[in-house]
Amino acid sequence: MNENSWACYSRNRKGQHGVGLRLLSLWKDEWKKGDVVLDIGCGTGELTKMIAENDDVNQVIGIDISAKAIDFARQHNSVDGKIKYLVGDAMLLQDSFSYFEKAFTKVYSNVALQWMENKEKVFRNVCWCLKDGGSCVINVLRGENETFYNVYHRSTKLPKWIKYFEGFEPKYYSVFGSLGDFDDLVSRCGFKQYPRIIDAYTTGQSLNTKEEHKDFMRPVLTHLEFIPVDLKEDFLEDCFQLFRRISPNTAHTEDDALFWRYDILDVKLVK
Ligand SMILES: C[S@@+](CC[C@H](N)C(=O)[O-])C[C@H]1O[C@@H](n2cnc3c(N)ncnc32)[C@H](O)[C@@H]1O
């Protein structure tokens, strides 16, 4: 993520927020007095705060790999005494936070896993930090039809810009393969076999103006940092035009109200 754009992210995350609420609803009726929750890839902390405002919840720890996101979350989404925001890598939880072992009754992660290459490692870490009987709800963006996956990868190959991306390694790892493949992956990570939910659905968000689309892209197109400062807006304009070309609802309109398609996989597992 681009380090200085977290305020933009926070303003334009209504799509992420919607799928985050749907994910949270998988715990409907399962909150218990004294719950201790870990939010992995908490970003700017809006959902972390919402979890902490649940009266049953004793404490929430939000971790994110970005120090700037954590700064933003601390500043804008704190709840006195109930949330701790920490900088950390979900793939390295056992090395960095030994005191997380069996420390949580619930682990939550909304639209973060697609930024993590080794998903099996993340699920093993999640299982390790849950108490026996604890559960996790985690989602991930899936497949090659989602719009962001396409804009992210194709924009690095635009002829006008390709020279800036020498040595750039894309770090956006949508999930491919069948639901059965994903089920195989999580079944190796130490959770109980049942009950287990693995649910796929498609949704998205509409943004109305070109500026909103650019603000949405600014923090999440990580390769923007490879573009010289004075050319960043030009690059974003080309990303917007690329988005317009590949977006499903643009064929008959010059309108900038375009739709970002998200293909989501929700997972609920119990230890
Ligand atoms: C799309 S944002 C989602 C943020 C938040 N969960 C929300 O719903 O708005 C993905 C987040 O994952 C974080 N992230 C990426 N890789 C990570 C990793 N290896 N460990 C922890 N967080 C990571 C990013 O910094 C970013 O804040």
213-255: pLDDT as tens digits: 888 888 889 899 999 999 999 999 999 999 988 876 654 455 7
45 lines ligand 1 (CB under 6 A): no
230: in domain: yes
Q: In whole angstroms, how far apart are CA 255 and each of 86, 89, 153, 211, 243?
A: 41, 40, 24, 13, 13
Task: Take residue 271 and report the two structure tokens written for it.
Answer: 């230890």
Q: For residue 162, how many C-alpha atoms fall within 13 Å in the half-sphere facing its CB?
A: 4
70 lines ligand 1 (CB under 6 A): no
Query: Which has the closest alpha carbon to 101: 127, 78, 80, 79?
Result: 127
Residue that wins the pLDDT comparison between 65 and 257: 65
145: in domain: yes
Cβ partners under 8 Å of residue 146, min gap 6: 174, 260, 261, 262, 263
70: in domain: yes
130 DSSP β-pair partners: 104
62 lines ligand 1 (CB under 6 A): no
163: in domain: yes
101: in domain: yes
Length reported for the chain: 271
Residue 2 has pLDDT above 70, yes or no: no
Question: Which pLDDT belongs to residue 251?
Answer: 45
- Cα of 54 to ligand 1 centre, how many Å? 22
Would you place residue 48 in the very low, low, confident or very high pLDDT band (cuts 50, 70, 90)? very high
Give the nearest ligand 1 atom to 110 CA. 6
**Helix, strand, coil % in the chain, rounded to nearest 5:** 45, 25, 35
CATH of the domain at 257: 3.40.50.150
54: in domain: yes
Neighbours of 195 (CB within 10 A): 9
204 lines ligand 1 (CB under 6 A): no
Question: Which pLDDT belongs to residue 194?
Answer: 81
13-17, 22-26, 250-254: range with lowest mean pLDDT: 250-254
Q: 148 is in which domain, residue-wise?
A: 6-270
- As a whole number of Å, the end-to-end CA separation of the chain is 31
- Cα of 255 to ligand 1 centre, how many Å? 31
Residue that wins the pLDDT comparison between 76 and 196: 76
Number of domains making up the chain: 1
1: in domain: no
- Look up the pTM and report it: 0.94
Task: Take residue 154 and report the two structure tokens written for it.
Answer: 């194709």
Summarize the confidence of residues 82-90 as an average pLDDT.
Answer: 98
Summarize the confidence of residues 51-59 as an average pLDDT.
Answer: 97
- Cα distance between residue 211 and residue 1, in whole Å: 18
Name the average pLDDT for the chain: 92
- Cα of 89 to ligand 1 centre, how many Å? 9
108 conformational bin, left if phi > 0, alpha if psi -120 to 50, beta if neither: beta
Q: What is the pLDDT of residues 105-150, one digit of tens each?
A: 999 999 999 999 999 999 999 999 999 999 999 999 998 888 899 9
